[in-house]
Amino acid sequence: MDEVLPPGKLFAYGVQHIAAMYAGVVAPPLIIGQALGLSPLNMTLLIGASLLTAGLATLLQSIGVWRIGARMPFVNGVTFASVAPILAIVTQHDKQQALSIVYGSVLIAGILAFLAAPYFSRIVRFFPPLVNGTVITLIGLSLFPVAADWIAGQDPEAANYASPLRIGLGAGTFLLVLVLNRVLTGFLNRIAILIGLVVGTLVAWPLGMVNTSTFERAPVFDVPMPFEMASPVFSLTATISICIVMLVAMMESTADMIALGEIVDRPVGEKTIAAGLRADGAGSALSAVFGGFTCSAFAQNVGLVALTRVKSRFVVAAAGGVLILMGLFPIVGGVVSLVPKPVLGGAALVLFGSVAASGVRTLGKANLGDPLNALVVAGAFGVGMIPIISPEFYEHFPAALRTVLDSGISTGCLIAVSLNLLFNGTRPTGGEQDQPPEDDAPPAAREAVDTDDSRAESVPTPRPNDVRSEAEPTGY
């Protein structure tokens, strides 16, 4: 994770991360801006602010400052979970004042999340492999409808909804990415997703599936200023609503950090999760200042790390730097927006499947032959899949409850943790200790990790009684 790659590879891998998450970053400001009736210019500024703040939050997570940031290949950006509560705020207030109330609420929620991070992080003890694998698998499964919507379209009334052309582009990109991952080697194998997106876009262009309007309207350069879009105004009810969103985002970020720790073979503990959640809170507060919304982890990028096996956090830091440039140069973001949604959806099927596969791999460490453990997985999948399969299932529940219930990841996580506590208690699992960032490790430990063969003999050999086998049973 701490390897610094050559500049060319850093940039290419970073752009691939941006391509995987770009649609998720621009969708919330597009939807919210449309609800507010913003002009095309203000809409562009809102998208630019979201890109800028996503870059800042990603740099906080990957590079870290003080005790802020997980220092993992962890991409942050505007969470879609905030869209529904923000739209509710827009409908309840005058449109001129609604954005100010939203920014005030996001600012307070971000600060509170930052302060609560060390306490919230203590829940890691309730995530043995049985729970980890269940939640990670749910993360992957919950993302499949997003990919399907990108391929088919989000408006069933549209003339080209689920048309053979859209499905053909998605299927072609899906197959191309799989083939490229099979036949390419080395660096080209690592950027198979990016190659698939470029080829898919070039094929879609003459077919009239590439929309250049965003690129044509985007200004060349713009610097988002603090509170340029609106000054913060504070409302108790709106703040409570966004705080609930922040809690959901923290739960999902915790699950994503645990999933990422499994993928990069560096299991996370309380210190790492607390640092990552601080970055979520600080990123959200910064986002409110510069015109964005609540920030959280992007699960699709966790899938990209699993698929490409590029674990360097500096690749994600490079992506954060490019996101900042895209926020400052909106015309650059317009280039990325040329990728048609069906092409992006086809590639996303592979990414999201990689997340689910990582979860299945983690479940392999749990004893699913135990009927009680199997019930934990069954119950969590059963409840967690409800909002994924039937998005309107909780339609008549209060809006505050729906913020949690409409997230299959959150509900599945709560059920998995609760059932595991009910059936298994809190027996220690072993092997899940936190590994501190390299800067926090004692010099002797860093020397032992970085040693070459010529110096290996200088590393003290532990006594047999001090050795803990990696194959030691993990409990349940």
Give the highest mean pLDDT range of 251-255, 393-397, 435-439, 458-462. 393-397
Least confident of 4-13, 28-37, 338-347: 28-37
Contacts (Cβ under 8 Å, ≥6 apart) of 93: 101, 235
Quick one: pLDDT at residue 429? Answer: 38
Instruction: Determine the average pLDDT of the residues in 44-53.
Output: 86
| Structure confidence by residue, pLDDT tens digits, 461-475 | 443 333 333 333 333
Quick one: pLDDT at residue 210? Answer: 87
Quick one: pLDDT at residue 88? Answer: 74
Share of the chain above pLDDT 90, in %: 33
Task: Please give the model's pTM, rounded to 2 decimal places.
Answer: 0.70
Quick one: pLDDT at residue 272? Answer: 92
Quick one: pLDDT at residue 176? Answer: 95
Quick one: pLDDT at residue 439? Answer: 42
Instruction: Determine the average pLDDT of the residues in 299-315.
Output: 88
Per-chain mean pLDDT for the chain: 82
pLDDT band at 78 (very low <50, low <70, confident <90, very high): confident
Looking at per-residue pLDDT, the higher value among 103 and 217 belongs to 103
Instruction: Determine the average pLDDT of the residues in 305-327.
Output: 92
pLDDT at 203 over 90: yes
| Structure confidence by residue, pLDDT tens digits, 339-383 | 888 998 898 898 888 878 878 988 988 888 899 999 999 999 999
Instruction: Determine the average pLDDT of the residues in 17-27.
Output: 81
φ, ψ dihedrals at 2, nearest 5°: -100, 10
Distance CA(207)–CA(317), nearest Å, equals 35
Residue of 217, 201, 216, 198 lying closest to 169 (CA atoms): 201
Exposure pattern of 112-149 as b/e (b: 16+ CB <10 Å)?
bbbebbbebbeebeebbbbbbbbbbbbbbbbbbebbbe
| Structure confidence by residue, pLDDT tens digits, 89-100 | 887 778 778 899
Domain residue extents for the chain: 7-424
Residue/partner pairs of 193-196 with CB below 8 Å, 24 or more apart: 193/16, 193/19, 193/20, 193/304, 193/307, 193/308, 193/347, 193/350, 193/351, 194/12, 194/15, 194/16, 194/19, 196/343, 196/346, 196/347
Quick one: pLDDT at residue 435? Answer: 43
Least confident of 93-97, 171-175, 428-432: 428-432
Of the CA atoms within 13 Å of residue 99, those in its CB half-sphere come to 22
Quick one: pLDDT at residue 60? Answer: 93
Q: Which amino acid is at 137?
A: T
pLDDT at 437 over 70: no
Quick one: pLDDT at residue 238? Answer: 82
Quick one: pLDDT at residue 300? Answer: 78
Q: Which amino acid is at 301?
A: N
Instruction: Determine the average pLDDT of the residues in 191-196.
Output: 87
Instruction: Determine the average pLDDT of the residues in 20-27.
Output: 79
pLDDT band at 403 (very low <50, low <70, confident <90, very high): low
Quick one: pLDDT at residue 170? Answer: 95
Quick one: pLDDT at residue 322? Answer: 92
Using CB atoms within 10 A of its CB, is residue 284 exposed (0-12), middle (13-18) or buried (19+)? buried
